[in-house]
Amino acid sequence: MKQKPEKKVVVKETVEEMLSRRTTLLLSGASFIMSLFLLSNNITGNVVLDFSRVDANWLGGVLFALAMIGFLVYVQKKKKKKK
């Protein structure tokens, strides 16, 4: 029995989807950089908004977690686009 060859389907991404994906990537990247900035006490010298060391570490950890979640969302959107 012969199988019919599969037709390739080209899915175009809308402008809204593209902007959403790029915004997610941009915010995730910015969050990651800020988390590194706050987690490294040598760079900030604990003078950023007069945070204590514990407060800066907590904020850096939260920003890092948000960055990782954002990157995962970006990857999922990218996979969804390819399907």
The answer to whether residue 3 is domain-embedded is no
Number of domains within the chain:
1
pLDDT along the chain (83 residues), means of 10: 70 81 92 86 59 81 94 87 66
pLDDT score recorded for residue 43: 60
Q: Is residue 9 part of a domain?
A: no
pLDDT at 44: 52
Distance from the first to the final alpha carbon of the chain:
28
**Residue found by looking up tokens 């994906």 in the block:** 21
Q: Which DSSP symbol is given to 51?
A: -
Give the other-Cβ count within 10 Å of 11's Cβ.
8
Residue 43 inside a domain? The answer is: yes
Q: Which domain holds residue 77?
A: 30-82
